Chain A
Amino acid sequence: MFWDWWQNLFVDMSSINFFNFSFLPRYGYAVIQGVEYTLILSVISVLLAVLPALMLAMMRISRHKTVRCLSGAYIAAFRSTPILVQLMIIYYGVFSVIRVPKFLIFGFIDSTRFIPGVVALALNSSAYVAEIFRAGILAVDSGQMEAARSLGLSQAQSMRLVILPQAVKNVLPALANEVITMVKESSVCMVLGMAEIMFTAQTIGGSTYISIGPYMLAAFIYFAITYPTSKVIERVERRMRRGDKQ
């Protein structure tokens, strides 16, 4: 008994299983679509988050306490609860009331799952992006606002013409990093059956009985997307900072 268990343990954990990618010839296409799905999902989520985040950031630095608190509450709520919980509440709560018409996006993405998923991720992301924007705005030297106001520009005109153009440049690297985070975080969407990388891995595992290989491949893919990208962003950021000093 014990010896059977002991030996099986090593058979199961053998590297053959970790790196068993024999499903690839058959499921390669599904994997590629999974990668596309993940990329589309995360990029669109962050893009959709930009405008609400800008609004939240402006509210966060408003003179009116109520406005500040509203925005603060939103940001706190979305940053202090798991994204999985938010996804479930939005999918089963909000989107049981709002019916999404069924159609295919880019020819392979099911709208009834994708749209609730993207909305949940975008709502989550806007809380994080709002903080990025707020930091970007506050990083602009206060003398810039004073100079603009002293010329007679209103608060809003100064924001739009002087502060935001400088803030946007400051936040681009952080925004790109948010996309990277979203590439990883969007894996929660597998629970809704959205055919992104993780869901694809799970499906392959289920139909081939190769349990670890698909997940190892998923891990490699996530790593191959996020690690080099974050290195590139780091370099761009360093170069931008050097440019500022001149």
Chain B
Amino acid sequence: MGTNNDYIIYVENIVKKYDNGRTVALDHCDLKINQGQVVAIIGSSGSGKSTMLRSLNLLEMPTSGKIFFKGTELTSKKIDVDSHRQKMGMVFQHFNLFPHMTVLENITMAPVILKIQTKQEAEKSAMKLLERVGLTEKANVYPNMLSGGQKQRIAIVRALAMEPEVMLFDEPTSALDPEMVGEVLDVMKELAADGMTMIVVTHEMGFAREVADEIVFMSEGRIIEKGTPKQIFENPKNQRTKNFIDKVL
């Protein structure tokens, strides 16, 4: 065996059912992700992309199947999921910043509470991260004072403050006004260039094509086709993939 050790994330045959089995959100999916890889998950709405992503850090517990993170089975009953979640940052469509905390508190809260850094250390690294996304002057404001694009960049920084080994993005630009999409994608591109392992659910086909190493196309809870952007966008094998690509391009 040992195969699951070769990958940073290894998903084996997962199934997720809702409503006592009436809804099958994930239908026997496998996924293997290498260290430093950028994977884009595409597919129409309701195809199970979010469920797949949220299963990776066990925000959703799969009904069956196994998920390994660096060789450790997360789906095992014995595991302390909280400590593994620290290593998997997540960015949400609707930002989910904490409205009762300033930007700086949003970023430093988790590392301080989880005793990964002292308050001073956390603030220092938070300011460095804010500088990277060009938002140092927003450190002491509350999230309601920020634009959508700024909120999402802060949300990315908040996740990065935990020094994760994987970043999960669930449609990070879908709730943004069009003119703000670029600033968030730029941050993500930089992150990819720095070698971060990223799994991105997205409708931004341009981004997927340019940045992703692998594209995963999902439909009705199944992974229909995987491949390089070139394969998927220019030469899809499956008819459903073809239809989807024709529709979105």
Which residues from chain A sit less than 8 Å from chain B, CB to CB?
Answer: 141, 143-144, 146-154, 157, 161-162, 165-166, 169, 246
Q: Please determine whether A152 and B92 come into contact, CB atoms closer than 8 angstroms.
A: no
Q: Please determine whether B109 and A147 come into contact, CB atoms closer than 8 angstroms.
A: no
- Given A150-B59, A152-B86, A161 and B113 contact (CB-CB distance below 8 Å): yes
B162 CB within 8 Å of chain A: yes
Choose from A144, A161, A246 the contact partner of B96 (Cβ within 8 Å).
A144
Q: Name the prevailing secondary structure of the B interface residues.
A: mixed
When chains A and B are docked, how far (Å) is the Cα of A161 from the Cα of B162?
A: 17
B247 CB within 8 Å of chain A: no
Q: Please determine whether B110 and A152 come into contact, CB atoms closer than 8 angstroms.
A: yes
Q: Name the distance in Å between B71's Cβ and chain A's nearest Cβ.
A: 19
Query: C-beta contact mask, B106-128 vs A, less than 8 Å → 1, else 0?
Result: 00011001100000000000000
In the complex formed, the residue of B with least CB distance to A169 is: B100
Note all chain A residues with C-beta closer than 8 A to B162: 151-152
When chains A and B are docked, how far (Å) is the Cα of A146 from the Cα of B57?
A: 10
Note all chain B residues with C-beta closer than 8 A to A166: 99-100
Query: C-beta contact mask, B72-113 vs A, less than 8 Å → 1, else 0?
Result: 000000000011011011101010111110000000011001
When chains A and B are docked, how far (Å) is the Cα of A162 from the Cα of B54?
A: 20
- Given A157-B113, A161-B109, A151 and B85 contact (CB-CB distance below 8 Å): yes
What would 5 more interface pairs be, CB under 8 Å, given A153-B82, A153-B110?
Answer: A146-B96, A151-B159, A152-B82, A152-B86, A161-B109
When chains A and B are docked, how far (Å) is the Cα of A104 from the Cα of B85?
A: 56
Q: Please determine whether A144 and B89 come into contact, CB atoms closer than 8 angstroms.
A: no
B235 CB within 8 Å of chain A: no
In the complex formed, the residue of A with least CB distance to B106 is: A147
Q: Please determine whether A149 and B59 come into contact, CB atoms closer than 8 angstroms.
A: yes
Most chain-A Cβ atoms within 10 A of its Cβ — which of B82, B83, B92?
B82
Q: Please determine whether B144 and A143 come into contact, CB atoms closer than 8 angstroms.
A: no
B226 CB within 8 Å of chain A: no
- Given A152-B110, A153-B110, A147 and B96 contact (CB-CB distance below 8 Å): yes
Choose from A141, A152, A165 the contact partner of B114 (Cβ within 8 Å).
A152
B16 CB within 8 Å of chain A: no
Q: Name the distance in Å between A240's Cβ and chain B's nearest Cβ.
A: 13
Q: Name the distance in Å between A153's Cβ and chain B's nearest Cβ.
A: 6
When chains A and B are docked, how far (Å) is the Cα of A166 from the Cα of B98?
A: 9
Choose from A143, A153, A157 the contact partner of B94 (Cβ within 8 Å).
A143
When chains A and B are docked, how far (Å) is the Cα of A147 from the Cα of B86?
A: 11
Q: Please determine whether A150 and B85 come into contact, CB atoms closer than 8 angstroms.
A: yes
In the complex formed, the residue of A with least CB distance to B98 is: A162
Note all chain B residues with C-beta closer than 8 A to A141: 96
Note all chain A residues with C-beta closer than 8 A to B88: 150
Note all chain A residues with C-beta closer than 8 A to B99: 166
When chains A and B are docked, how far (Å) is the Cα of A151 from the Cα of B59?
A: 11
When chains A and B are docked, how far (Å) is the Cα of A147 from the Cα of B158?
A: 10
When chains A and B are docked, how far (Å) is the Cα of A14 from the Cα of B57?
A: 76
Q: Please determine whether A154 and B100 come into contact, CB atoms closer than 8 angstroms.
A: no
In the complex formed, the residue of B with least CB distance to A157 is: B113
Query: C-beta contact mask, B55-78 vs A, less than 8 Å → 1, else 0?
Result: 001010000000000000000000
Note all chain B residues with C-beta closer than 8 A to A144: 96, 98
Q: Please determine whether B86 and A151 come into contact, CB atoms closer than 8 angstroms.
A: yes
In the complex formed, the residue of A with least CB distance to B158 is: A151
Note all chain B residues with C-beta closer than 8 A to A162: 98
In the complex formed, the residue of A with least CB distance to B94 is: A143
Q: Name the distance in Å between B106's Cβ and chain A's nearest Cβ.
A: 9
When chains A and B are docked, how far (Å) is the Cα of A166 from the Cα of B143?
A: 14
